[in-house]
Amino acid sequence: MNDDQILDLFFDRSEQAISETSAKYGKLARTVAFRIVRNEEDVDECESDTYLALWNTIPPQRPDPFVAYICKLVRNISVNRYKYNTAEKRNNLYDISLDELEGCLRGSSDVEKELDAKEAQKIINTFLKGLNRTDSVLFLKRYWFNMSIDEIASETGFTKNYINVHLHRTKERLKSFLTKEGYYEG
């Protein structure tokens, strides 16, 4: 079943929409969730919460592309679950990738953080659109999908050194870009 047909099922309020979404994108949703929460019970919860969020937002939303919308929902739900689970402790697998980007982003008060986050999202999206395909894919796999360097190497066929060098250069370009945009004071 294609995405438009699945979305039509959501608009018809047919429960089949959930089963079709699960059949087509369940494995992807679980993979995204697992890379963040690293716990099968939490993955189950994140997947279920994603289907509920889809049910509650479609309609009126008609996301295009549907797969990106699913990934965004499951990632946000998983990050919230991760924050809840690790409020007093660190989860090295997820925090390490965030720490790698820490030098590119500035900290501030809670209100400023919310405003900065929205502006940062726009700026980073602009930055990513300017990257070549390889650098963009490596950056997203590492920092959006939270894949380890080993996982990226296995999936792409690149060496770990190649990936590390490209990620380092991309982070340096991001710092420069953010500085130029007035978002980062290095």
Phi-psi group of 131: left, alpha or beta (phi > 0 → left; psi -120 to 50 → alpha; rest → beta): beta
Task: State residue 92's pLDDT score.
Answer: 54
Residues 56-109: tens digit of each pLDDT? 999 999 999 999 999 999 999 999 999 888 876 555 555 656 666 666 655 544
Yes or no: say if 21 and 51 are a contact pair by the CB < 8 Å rule: yes
What value does the mean pLDDT take over residues 102-122?
Answer: 59
Over residues 26-57, the pLDDT tens digits come to 999 999 999 999 999 999 999 999 999 999 99
Q: Which residue has the higher pLDDT, 149 or 118?
A: 149
Angle at which helices 133-143 and 110-129 pack, to 10 degrees?
150
- Radius of gyration over every alpha carbon of the chain, rounded to an integer in angstroms: 18
Average pLDDT, the chain: 86
pLDDT at 75: 93
Sorted by where each starts, the structural domains of the chain and their CATH numbers stand as: 3-85 (1.10.1740.10), 94-180 (1.10.10.10)
